[in-house]
Chain A
Amino acid sequence: MCYAIPGKIIKIMNDNATIDYDGVTKVANISLVENPKLGDYVLVHAGFAIEILNKKNAEESINAIKNQIKITDGLEK
């Protein structure tokens, strides 16, 4: 239940923002983080951003998720 995934803010609409999760976009609430800006990477849990991440760490984390998906796909084939 405590899972959270990183994504990039590509549009801000008051308390909400469109988040790009490596190609998939979804709206999340950004009212729980301080001064979110366009282009920031955020960690999103249950539809809410819970922390702003630095770009390098976020990109590393996104790559790690992609690798895990590859491994899981490999196991299922």
Chain B
Amino acid sequence: MNKEYLSRLHVAQIKENAKLIRRDITLMEICGGHTNTIMKYGIRDILPKNIRLISGPGCPVCVSSQYDIDCMIRLAEEGIPVATYGDMLKVPGSSATLEKIKAKTGNVFEIYSAEEVIKLKEKYLDIIFFGVGFETTAPMTAYLLENQICVYSVHKLVPPAIKALLSGEVRIDGFINPGHVSTIIGVEPYKEFKIPQVVAGFEPEQILRAINLLTQLIKNKQNIVVNGYTEVVKDSGNLKAQQFLKKHFKISDSEWRGLGKIPLSGLEVRNDKLNAKIKYAKIISKVPIPKKTACRCGEVLKGIIEPKQCPLYKKTCTPTNPKGACMVSAEGSCAISYNYDG
């Protein structure tokens, strides 16, 4: 069956399910990649009126705390070479961005693959890797730790965020779980949450498939998790990557932009000698707690408001001059809304 036909079938079944559910329901897509597909293909517009899709905290650049960004900027300002993924360079800190420090000092490096950091270390012996991302990206940082690279980790875990959202102020009836995070962790970690969940891929047909499955689960009152992305995700996940994560990281409390401190939701470097937060504790201790700004990224990340409701959106905050992290990344809700929703 071709995907266009399947998509039409999903939409027809979603409409049938929506009628039988007979109440308004809210589904949250956690991954920024899903948000991008949903907005790009206008999926929200073709759903029945009683199904509302909201975006969650699934953009790792967006959920990294302002304090961690400020710490990295301070380390780079002190002359310590820093390497990280492209989007992190543009996230505004309290006083600058890593991009500005790069222009000033030349000691901030934008990388695509973690392996590039190993080559950079040949020239910059004390280079730090700013490790950002969910379970999908953390194994690459573990590979760097295996290769004796010093890391400032802000890696975060998705299941504890789901737990925090479930006790939050927005009522959520089901989750579209992230496809590539699940490639690493599998389906098992989601089973503790008694709410309908479907792991989804990133094509429009796969998103519609997930919404179809979620409406069926809600209709049948089945609070279970379904792997809707069996093309890629094994129920047990990638065991080799999981072992690698366990070897190099310990689970710790972590500060999320918008969600605050979530217990046991982060990955901290096990080896103190390779942990930049310990190695450079003296410098980091001088970084002040950031002041609150008018940016409402935090509420966007929790699904409380839509980007358009932020007073800065499209006025002073745009992709070329972002005031908040959600406008920086291609997976940030504000940037996606700016690109596709006008």
Residues of A within 8 A of B181 (CB): 2
A45 part of interface (Cβ distance < 8 Å): yes
Nearest chain-A residue to B116 (Cβ)? A47
- Shortest beta-carbon distance from A63 to chain B in Å: 9
Q: A33 touches which one: B3, B59, B203, B238 (CB < 8 A)? A: B238
Write out the residue numbers on chain A whose beta carbons fall within 8 Å of the beta carbon of B203: 61, 64, 68
Whole-angstrom CA separation of A50 from B137 in the bound complex = 10
Whether A50 touches B115, Cβ cut-off 8 Å, given contacts A32-B139, A43-B232, is no
B59-87 interface with A by 8 A CB criterion:
59-61, 85, 87
Instruction: With both chains docked as a complex, state the minimum distance between the C-beta of A48 and any C-beta of chain B, in angstroms.
Output: 5
Q: Is there a chain B Cβ closer than 8 Å to A20's Cβ?
A: no
| Whole-angstrom distance between the Cβ of B267 and the nearest chain A Cβ | 15
A50 CB contact (under 8 Å) in B85, B114, B238, B239: B238
Size category of the B interface is 35 or more
**Chain B 238-281 per-residue mask, 1 if CB under 8 angstroms from chain A, else 0:** 11110010000000000000000000000000000000000000
Q: How does the 8 Å CB contact mask read for B117-139 relative to A, with 1 for contact and 0 for none?
A: 00000000000000011101101
22 interchain pairs (CB within 8 A)? A1-B60, A2-B33, A2-B60, A2-B136, A2-B180, A3-B202, A4-B183, A29-B115, A29-B143, A31-B143, A32-B139, A32-B244, A46-B114, A46-B137, A46-B140, A47-B140, A48-B114, A48-B139, A50-B241, A57-B231, A61-B203, A64-B205
**Which residues on B are within 8 Å of A, measured CB to CB?**
3, 31-33, 58-61, 85, 87, 112-116, 132-134, 136-137, 139-140, 143, 178-181, 183-184, 202-203, 205, 231-234, 238-241, 244, 329, 331
Instruction: Give residues in A with beta carbon < 8 Å to B.
Output: 1-4, 28-29, 31-34, 43, 45-48, 50-51, 53-54, 57, 60-61, 64, 68
